[in-house]
Chain A
């Protein structure tokens, strides 16, 4: 079974510098697959190559080397676009058209009857929370509203595969929640979803698998948990401490204050001894959790390593 999206050594270089003599590599030998029906997150700092990859997939820019296929067809085959939906980064649409008109315009390319189009447009507006704004011209829309229109046009034709470039950008927490819900809904309907983001928590909660890109190179692919390894780094106890006394002071010395409570990190081996100590000090245990390295740690380490590369000159115009 072919993967929904496949790339082989996908590379993109840009001419750079005075007289375009130098070349900047924006993406280097990217080889990866997105399986049918999974939610795949593309993670990376700004300028890492996420947008570049997505633009290469959508045929907005052309690869210097390598190839890519979507739904088994090469990316140069535009007929394949019939089955995919795309939300561009920072979408901006036609100033003088209304939301409903824009959605209608995009829907027309898929050969629906007029009645079906109308129905779908209404449904989409409702789904992204814009049902009251359907007749307002887009030049009056806020960034968040435009983002929603963008999402709506990406799924109005019920595509098998949806590609979203920074779908959460420009949205307030409520909006982000809504988008998350929509993505989950799509996943439950059996769609394949690829989205790029630099917000780690979104990736952790939504994705089946995550691909980490930095400096134009793929650093790791796998389930969010598996990338960082399941090795536990110890336990963390959060507790309340009231009163005083010598024993309490000893405990206080080992812990760090966190708001009204205290935190203490200990090795797994020392867990019960520590708990005894706390009991003796009359502490009230609030929580006990395993410390696992997060995607964030992995990320920061990665980014730290290629600070030079990651912060390099933007040529993709972001």
Chain B
């Protein structure tokens, strides 16, 4: 456990100092600022606009960070052989992987929190007061973080057995697919047999469903989100990440490194 934390701490440190991260976070804050301006144009849907745009910004930037650093974590290490020296330590390969994952999730949490703080600041600036209903935005941000955690896990898994470019493409592709997974379930083309329909239905449950995390509508309108949904999404993320990381571990543990 300790060893995992050692790797996590190091990963966090290295990631946090990477200047690209700062640029992205700054960009996100910029977008939130512009949302304030836009909101003023639209009058009475000010708050809605700002929350929507702000959350979109956080989501987009967070996604970029998750995919690119997630892939970079493993791929870059293998490529540049920083890995070799670490694996010479009394550290099992899976401990290394889990440590990397933990470090990156930590990094994401800090970045997301920073962006969320910016958003709340903007909200206060526009509305001049924050009501209890605004905690919904916090839940929305939390869901976003869960989503990014899963994306990171997927990115790491793909980079264990494909090139960095392919890993980015696969992760991105799976994310987009995951947004429309629910449609797959209700897909009812007249030409399909019952078997194909069943197949698609099963597939729609097995693929990661990123729509689960989308509560932008509720957040924008200040409507509540049930506690059970929060719990369920957390469990879903944890379980799916466990699956993905297990696969990644098995692949990584037997892989000949360069």
A residues touching B (Cβ–Cβ < 8 Å)? 55, 58-62, 78-82, 84-97, 101, 105-106, 108-110, 150, 153, 316-317
Contacts and interface: CB of A to CB of B under 8 A. Distances in A.
A92 B257 contact: no
Contacts of A93: 82, 85
A84 B87 CA distance: 12
B85 A91 contact: yes
Contacts of B221: none
A92 B82 contact: yes
B91 A81 contact: yes
Given A62-B254, A108-B6, A88 B90 contact: no
A106 B14 contact: no
A96 B17 contact: yes
Contacts of B44: none
B81 A94 contact: no
Contacts of B86: 106
Interface in B1-30: 3, 6, 10, 13-14, 17-18
Contacts of A153: 85
A32 to B, nearest CB: 20
A58 B14 contact: no
Contacts of A92: 80-82
Interface residues of B, number: 23
30 contacts: A55-B84, A58-B84, A58-B87, A59-B87, A60-B84, A62-B256, A80-B90, A81-B88, A81-B90, A81-B91, A82-B90, A86-B88, A87-B85, A88-B81, A88-B85, A91-B81, A92-B80, A92-B81, A93-B85, A96-B17, A97-B13, A97-B17, A105-B10, A106-B86, A106-B89, A108-B6, A109-B89, A150-B85, A316-B258, A317-B258
Interface in B183-219: none
B127 interface: no
B92 interface: yes
Contacts of B90: 78-82, 109-110
A105 B103 CA distance: 14
Interface of B: 3, 6, 10, 13-14, 17-18, 80-82, 84-92, 254, 256-258
A95 B16 CA distance: 12
Nearest to B17: A96
A110 B91 CA distance: 10
Given A62-B256, A94-B10, A81 B84 contact: no
B88 A85 contact: yes
Contacts of A110: 89-90
Contact of B257 (A61, A82, A96): A61
A97 B257 CA distance: 23
Contacts of A106: 85-86, 89
Contact of A61 (B13, B85, B256): B256
Contact of A58 (B10, B80, B88, B91): B88
Nearest to A92: B80
B67 to A, nearest CB: 20
Given A96-B17, A108-B6, A90 B85 contact: no
Contacts of B91: 78, 81, 109
Contact of B14 (A79, A97, A109): A97
Nearest to B80: A92
A67 to B, nearest CB: 17
Contacts of B84: 55, 58, 60, 86, 88, 91
Given A58-B87, A78-B92, A95-B18, 9 more contacts: A60-B256, A78-B91, A81-B89, A86-B85, A93-B82, A94-B10, A96-B14, A109-B89, A150-B85
